[in-house]
Amino acid sequence: MKRHLMKGSKVVFLALYLIFMVFPLYWIVITSLKPQKEIFSFPLKYWPSELTFENYINIIKISKFHVYIANSLLISLSAALIVCCIAVLSAYVLARYKFRSHRQVMLGFFLTQMLPGFVALAPLYLLMSRLDLINTRYSLILMYTVGLIPFSTILLKGFFERIPSSLEEAAMIDGCSRLSALIRVIMPVMMNGIAATFIFAFVQNWNELFMAVLFIDNESLKTLPVAMNSFVMKFDVDWGAMSAGTVLSVIPTIALFAIAQRFIVEGLTQGAVKG
């Protein structure tokens, strides 16, 4: 009896936890499909009297939503690709070579993860201004790349340490250079880790707001989070448009996770073993 009671309580707890986690997403989707008059109705309606795509039509017609999505995709993909390329090389060096300042470099990488990003916004703005990169996509790509290299390097270092160095040594005996052995032999073996790192970098770039607000003021260069922030007005919030925009903005990340789910799970669990 006690065993069945414990099992039933676990099921109830997990069901309540699932509802607690899923309900915000459900409410956002339902709000995006409600007519404006029902969004602020009282008592609350957990299902609209009529479903409408008015909010989606408005944000696509009135705002440059397709431009914002294109900007976010371009900047996020570019920065994530650059991060992976640099992090693979730096993680390989840290995993395979034990040079004099090895511990100091790793300590520096870990320290960068302890500082909140907005602390550096003011000096970064001055730097970008002197480089004449304000209101350009290059400023965001550069900042996103620099900000994500330390963590991506730490993550990929764990993958390299799981792969025996005898693999690349055998490739070098067969005539490969060290770089060629890395590209042809090691990287295919750790593709799960690279994919997990790429997805992590892409999602971080896709959701970033503070730097995008600071460095971009041109309407045609704004990213999706900046456009979503514009729905918050001084005395009001356009909840219908914001909910519709939120639903549209999560579609690319959901699709990416659905496609690469296997790589994410295998990659993160393997890379977390050694650091």
Q: Do 100 and 76 fall into the same domain?
A: yes
User: In terms of residue numbers, what domain contains 203?
Assistant: 53-271
Percent of the chain residues past pLDDT 70, beyond the cut: 92
Question: Which pLDDT band holds residue 271 (cuts at 50, 70, 90)?
Answer: very low
| Residue whose token pair is 């040079």 | 99
CATH code (residue 116): 1.10.3720.10
Say if residues 55 and 32 touch (Cβ distance below 8 Å): yes
Q: Do 47 and 99 fall into the same domain?
A: no
Say if residues 149 and 86 touch (Cβ distance below 8 Å): yes
Mean pLDDT comparison of 45-49, 71-75, 178-182, highest-scoring range: 71-75
Average pLDDT over residues 102-131: 82
Say if residues 159 and 193 touch (Cβ distance below 8 Å): yes
* Residue 262: pLDDT over 80: no
Lowest-confidence range among 28-32, 46-50, 94-98, 104-108? 46-50
What's the whole-model pTM score?
0.79
Q: What is the pLDDT of residue 214?
A: 85
From 206, 205, 194, 187, select the one nearest 263 (Cα to Cα): 194
Q: Do 21 and 68 fall into the same domain?
A: no
* Residue 230: pLDDT over 80: no
In angstroms, the CA 155 to CA 7 distance is: 37
Q: What is the mean pLDDT of the chain?
A: 83
Question: Which pLDDT band holds residue 263 (cuts at 50, 70, 90)?
Answer: low
Q: What is the pLDDT of residue 275?
A: 40
Q: Which residues contact 33 (CB under 8 A, 6 or more apart)?
A: 48, 51, 52, 53, 55
Q: Do 108 and 239 fall into the same domain?
A: yes
How many domains does the chain contain in total? Answer: 2
Q: What is the pLDDT of residues 54-80, one digit of tens each?
A: 888 888 877 788 888 899 999 999 999
Average pLDDT over residues 161-183: 85
Q: Do 14 and 117 fall into the same domain?
A: no
